Structure 1
Amino acid sequence: MIPYGRQSIEQADIDAVVAVLKSDWLTQGPTIERFEAAMAQRCEAAFGVAVCNATAALHIACLAAGLGEGDRLWTSPNTFLASANCGRYCGAHVDFVDIDPLTWNLDVHALARKLEVAEREGRLPKVLVAVAFAGQSCDMRAIRALSQRYGFVVIEDASHAVGARYAGRPVGCGEFADMTVFSFHPVKIVTTGEGGMVLTNHPEWAERLRRLRSHGMTRDPAQMDEPSHGPWYYQQVELGFNYRITDIQAALGLSQLDRLDAFLARRRGLAARYQRLLAELPLALPTTQAEAESAWHLYVVRLQTQGTTLNHRQVFDALRAAGIGVNVHYIPVHLQPYYRALGFKPGDFPEAEAYYTEAISLPLYPAMSDEQQDEVVGQLQRLLGKKPSASMLGASS
């Protein structure tokens, strides 16, 4: 089986983890701070706050932004559940903005229209979660302009986009988003096993993020309502969570960062090769937004099956049967039973729904060989009625 994604673990990663296992710290030690500082420096951000996973990162980012009961959060329906659920955790109403038919990211034109209506009706969002789907940012420049006009906080869900760039700067720098969330799940660009991080340039938000990840506790006398009882003393000043990451995970993340450029180069090379080899098949291939440089977490195609003998499900099943571990990203969130119970229904976001009926995520990960990619391409060519060309399959990345 050729999986759609796979972590890349080398001896240096193992050695980094073993070094922490032999140290005095397994959790909440100095390696976490080094990992946070390294990510912030790489992304040209002021602060990084590491947590146990990206869902936790989204949750506390929303809380730091002041999202609460009765507020509104908007996001894309073409995303994983966490991009919307984070709003529900805070007691907020969640709504969606349909996707661009070319980039499959949130459509800024649909966003602008929806904001105009929401302003008239007095129901503007407090937070917009802009999802960098497959590793490519949305039109963040336009989103930032809209946020300044309508007064909402922008959280970029860049779970797919560690190492991506937008407008010539790293995703996470804070120029176009108030906070940026990364994921370090094993199939993502770099991994800590499980883990996530919030980047921000706002010191007060960074301080609150750190407090929220650890039960709402503080040891800072300036935040306490009475003098400290001694060096052991802490106070819980708000309701927080146990969202802490460990030094073990942070050590793996630090080691993985050393190879981030190599990971990105290979992913981009494989994506470019897919673009070339699949160009003549009945597929809609990924389109790059003008100012975005994708990290290529996913390589998604849309089947154009009109006039062919196989439908979407049949192509998916045939690829799986051939040992190609394809997947689908994503089922539109508003069609999940939980969100249907909140009033959403089929037809609410037609572009996302049309996308879902055609999308297939093909294998893409740094250790994937050209020969494995040739196998994926060959199976697609066989299924979709085009004979593989030896010269095409032999083309280097």
Structure 2
Amino acid sequence: MTKLAINGGTPVRDTYLPYGQQWIEDDDIEEVVKALKSDYLTTGPKIKEFEEKFGKYVGVKYAVAISNGTAALHGASFAAGIKEGDEVITTPITFAASANCILYQGGKPVFADIDSSTYNIDPKDIEEKISSKTKAIVPVDFTGQPVNIDEINAIAKKYNLIVIEDGAHSLGAEYKGKRIGSLVDMTTFSFHPVKHITTGEGGMITTNNKELYEKLKLFRTHGITRDKEILYNKNESSWYYEQLELGYNYRITDIQCALGISQLNKIDKFLRRRREIAEKYNEYLKDIDGIVLPYQEEYIKSSWHLYVIQLELEKFKVGRREIFEALQAENIGVNVHYIPVYYHPYYQKLGYKKGLCPNAEKLYERIITIPLYPKMTDKDVKDVVEALDKVLKYYKR
């Protein structure tokens, strides 16, 4: 049997393959340079242009560009009117920001368990967790597979709740033939370098509700406006402005938006390649014993932000940690998405205990994210498969 790199053998790859990475080309750089040479570095025309093109792409009336994906979630929570004493239901299998945004507004995150097949939040458990204090639901499109939007919207309507869809993983994904971004009250997106398009750091909030749109625009600029339609004192000169809310400086720059526009022009190419890689993994990995491949609902079209395998640990002589570290030693940049949010020490100090979401906790112990991003070559994909085969065979019972 081939000796593992972690035991002194030769790694499958000479160079490290990250789990995710941006794809920046010369035309992206040229657009950024143009922005740097323009009259506006921030609060200029590129922001509106990016918002309009993004809104058109996802099929929504209003889009608000913001400094990052966490700020997008914070802004949506603010616009939803979440305040102290309110409860908001979300999933534990997500990055902490999906829950932190509730805390920012003084609310309390309530964690609903996941569906064991899709790994997305389970609508049945959402309904079970609703109380008289529940104000909103923050479902997360984990790995790029949209949540069950129809069921969640039906629950929201029944209990008069707002839905904030965390679409950080799902730009370009489709739910029953419609792109994510216009199907709930508000949807948030992230443009971190590992996401589908990047602005370095950046985010977007989309909505079809004009009232929410106006609140979001205020929120990202200190709560300050010059819009005479909403000023209290409408008779002052053009220099005049008013602070109407306690907002933040969550502005995004023209430099970032210039990059975002260029990247958005390539989104179809990026998505096509992500889906090709996922199909290759599905084909190459189906015969490797000891792993469960991602399940996809037939009515969705994933944007494949992540490819997450689940280990059947009972078939191996070691645990997830040993397998993970062996793959890293083979120069395969595996990761784990995610540690359940309420496992974090900060949430433990707030009084959350393990045992809240059994399905999520069981999943966490078994999952590994393998590399998937558009710039990967077919050789990169085969290296990942080879490393998995090598490591899993070595540790097989």
Q: TM-score, normalised by structure 1?
A: 0.94
**Map of 1:143 onto structure 2:** 152
Residues in 2 aligned to 1:151 and 1:318: alpha-carbon distance in whole angstroms? 49
Q: Post-superposition, which runs of at least 4 consecutive aligned residues in structure 1 deviate over 4 A?
A: none
Residues in 1 aligned to 2:367 and 2:129: alpha-carbon distance in whole angstroms? 26
**Map of 2:327 onto structure 1:** 319
Q: How does 1:229-240 map to 2 (within 5 A)?
A: 229-240=236-247
Query: What amino acid does structure 2 have at the position aligned with 1:128?
Result: I
**2:48 pairs with 33, 44, 51, which one?**
33
Provide the alpha-carbon RMSD of the alignment: 1.2
**Map of 1:76 onto structure 2:** 91
Residues in 1 aligned to 2:376 and 2:98: alpha-carbon distance in whole angstroms? 29
Deviations 1:207-262 (A, max 9, x none): 11011100000112232222343111111111110000000000000000111000
Residues in 2 aligned to 1:93 and 1:25: alpha-carbon distance in whole angstroms? 40
Q: Tell me if the contact between 1:105 and 1:132 (Cα under 8 Å) persists in the aligned partners.
A: yes
Query: What amino acid does structure 1 have at the position aligned with 2:125?
Result: A
Residues in 2 aligned to 1:155 and 1:206: alpha-carbon distance in whole angstroms? 13
**1:335 pairs with 324, 328, 343, which one?**
343
Identity %: 47
**1:290 pairs with 298, 322, 325, which one?**
298
Shift of residue 204 of structure 1? Answer: 1.1
Q: How does 1:162-177 map to 2 (within 5 A)?
A: 162-173=171-182, 175=183, 177=184
**Map of 2:170 onto structure 1:** 161
**Map of 2:188 onto structure 1:** 181
**1:299 pairs with 286, 302, 307, which one?**
307
Query: What amino acid does structure 1 have at the position aligned with 2:123?
Result: V
Consecutive unaligned residues in structure 1, runs of 5 or more: 387-397
Deviations 1:103-145 (A, max 9, x none): 1110112223333xx3xxx33x211001001111111111011
Residues in 1 aligned to 2:157 and 2:102: alpha-carbon distance in whole angstroms? 21
Aligned residues: 379
Residues in 1 aligned to 2:232 and 2:121: alpha-carbon distance in whole angstroms? 44
Q: Tell me if the contact between 1:128 and 1:154 (Cα under 8 Å) persists in the aligned partners.
A: yes
Residues in 2 aligned to 1:164 and 1:213: alpha-carbon distance in whole angstroms? 26
Residues in 1 aligned to 2:229 and 2:255: alpha-carbon distance in whole angstroms? 31
Query: What amino acid does structure 2 have at the position aligned with 1:358?
Result: R
Query: What amino acid does structure 1 have at the position aligned with 2:253?
Result: T
Residues in 2 aligned to 1:202 and 1:185: alpha-carbon distance in whole angstroms? 26
Residues in 1 aligned to 2:229 and 2:315: alpha-carbon distance in whole angstroms? 70
**1:10 pairs with 10, 13, 25, which one?**
25
Helix, strand or coil at the partner of 2:41: coil
Q: Identify the range of structure 1 (189-198 vs 231-240) with the bigger mean alpha-carbon deviation.
A: 231-240
Q: Identify the range of structure 1 (103-112 vs 239-248) with the bigger mean alpha-carbon deviation.
A: 103-112
Residues in 2 aligned to 1:274 and 1:172: alpha-carbon distance in whole angstroms? 27
**Map of 2:260 onto structure 1:** 253
Q: Tell me if the contact between 1:138 and 1:289 (Cα under 8 Å) persists in the aligned partners.
A: no
Q: Identify the range of structure 1 (84-93 vs 229-238) with the bigger mean alpha-carbon deviation.
A: 229-238
Query: What amino acid does structure 2 have at the position aligned with 1:377?
Result: V
Consecutive unaligned residues in structure 2, runs of 5 or more: 1-15
**1:134 pairs with 134, 137, 143, which one?**
143
**Map of 1:42 onto structure 2:** 57
**Map of 2:356 onto structure 1:** 348
